[in-house]
């Protein structure tokens, strides 16, 4: 995504989100993200799928869609793309993944507009993001905000839903994960593993990360026909005379039409 940026305080610790995912803290989050993406993409069908961002991690690995590719702002095996100006034809993708793209984009709403443009009707959009209303968001609010992912702009899930609704998306699913405090050591994260099940049950909206599955809806057009007034139709249209279905007797007369369209007996 060309819209990624680094704040002035983001100078130490991890220099990229992919680098942070290789740490103990990042692996804790990545493990839960892979579980959700693997399960969700497996039930989505189509022909073309794109993962925008984080090319080092294949979130499309469990997808059944035949054509899958990854786009990012780095050079390498991934296709280099700009998040808010995608060089992709409109209505050409069946599935689009945005793993932590919006937090580090200068224009997150513009990225969502591009997502709406390139997705086909009934296409799926999958988003993952850090939850500002969580222990992870509290750590960022009270900390120095240096290093990844703390230098990003955490966007509330309610705002994401509002943006998606304005663009014509419909929520199809989602969940929260990573309820443990943002410990740096693996042993403390493992000791806090019990908080995952408890978090889903008792404080479901306070997970460190959230996932969103949205579907692009295109309203159809229904032709509303006028309701005919039967009384008015009878006045405007001539009514054909009823035919006499009685069988003629032997002495029936022959008729002919004159020029003045009057019927007379012959």
* Domains in the chain: boundaries: 17-216
Indicate the range of 46-50, 125-129, 236-240 predicted with least confidence.
236-240
Q: Look at the alpha carbons of 152, 155, 156, 160 in this order and tell me if their dihedral is positive or negative.
A: negative
- Is pLDDT of 60 > 60? yes
Q: Are strands 119-130 and 263-265 parallel, antiparallel or unpaired?
A: unpaired
Look at the pTM and tell me if it is higher than 0.85: no
Find the angle CA(42)-CA(46)-CA(49) to the nearest 5 degrees: 75
DSSP string, 69-115: EEEESS-SSSEE--TTS--S-TT-EEEEEEET-STTBS-HHHHHHHH
Instruction: Enumerate residues 6+ apart whose C-beta is below 8 A from 132.
Output: 140, 141, 154, 155, 156
Q: Hey, what CATH topology would domain 17-216 get?
A: Rossmann fold (3.40.50)
Token pair for residue 80?
Answer: 């280099």
| Residue-level pLDDT at 195 | 76
Please give the span between the terminal C-alpha atoms of the chain, in angstroms, as a whole number. Answer: 95
Short-list 220, 132, 240, CA closest to 182: 132
**Tokens 């042993």 sit at which residue?**
187
| Residue-level pLDDT at 3 | 40
pLDDT digits (tens, 9 = 90+) for 86-145: 888 999 999 999 999 999 888 899 999 999 999 999 999 999 999 999 999 998 888 777
Q: Are strands 255-257 and 263-265 parallel, antiparallel or unpaired?
A: antiparallel
Read off the pLDDT of each residue in 6-24 and give the average, rounded to a whole number: 70
DSSP string, 177-244: E--S---SSHHHHHHTTHHHHHHHHH-GGG-SEEEEEEEE--------PPPP-HHHHHHHSPPPPPP-
Instruction: Enumerate residues 6+ apart whose C-beta is below 8 A from 219.
Output: 168
CA distances from 74 to 4, 50, 174 (A): 11, 16, 29
Phi, psi of 201 (to 5 degrees): -95, -40
pLDDT digits (tens, 9 = 90+) for 180-235: 888 888 888 887 777 777 767 777 788 999 999 999 998 875 656 666 666 665 66
Q: Look at the alpha carbons of 100, 105, 108, 114 in this order and tell me if their dihedral is positive or negative.
A: negative
């Amino acid at each position: 995504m060309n819209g990624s940026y680094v704040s002035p305080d983001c100078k130490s610790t991890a220099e990229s989100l992919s680098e942070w995912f290789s740490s103990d803290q990042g692996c804790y989050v990545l493990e839960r993200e892979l579980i959700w993406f693997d399960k969700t993409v497996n039930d989505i069908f189509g022909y073309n799928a794109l993962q925008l961002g984080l090319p080092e991690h294949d979130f499309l690995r469990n997808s059944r869609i035949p054509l899958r590719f990854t786009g990012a702002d780095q050079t390498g095996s991934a296709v280099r793309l700009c998040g808010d100006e995608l060089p992709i034809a409109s209505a050409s993708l069946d599935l689009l993944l945005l793993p932590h793209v919006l937090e580090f984009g200068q224009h997150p709403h513009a990225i969502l507009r591009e997502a709406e443009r390139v997705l086909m009707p009934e296409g799926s959009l999958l988003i993952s993001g850090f939850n500002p209303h969580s222990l992870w968001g509290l750590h960022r609010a009270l900390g120095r905000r240096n290093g990844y992912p703390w230098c990003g702009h955490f966007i509330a899930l309610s705002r994401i839903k509002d943006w998606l609704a304005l663009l014509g998306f419909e929520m199809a699913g989602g969940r929260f994960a990573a309820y443990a405090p943002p410990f740096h050591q693996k042993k403390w994260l493992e000791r806090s593993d019990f908080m995952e099940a408890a978090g889903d049950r008792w404080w479901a909206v306070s997970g460190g990360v959230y996932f969103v599955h949205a579907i692009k809806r295109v309203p159809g057009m229904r032709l509303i026909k006028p309701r005919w007034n039967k009384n008015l139709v009878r006045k405007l249209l001539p009514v054909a005379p009823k035919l006499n279905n009685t069988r003629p007797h032997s002495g029936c007369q022959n008729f002919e039409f004159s020029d003045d369209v009057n019927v007379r007996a012959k």
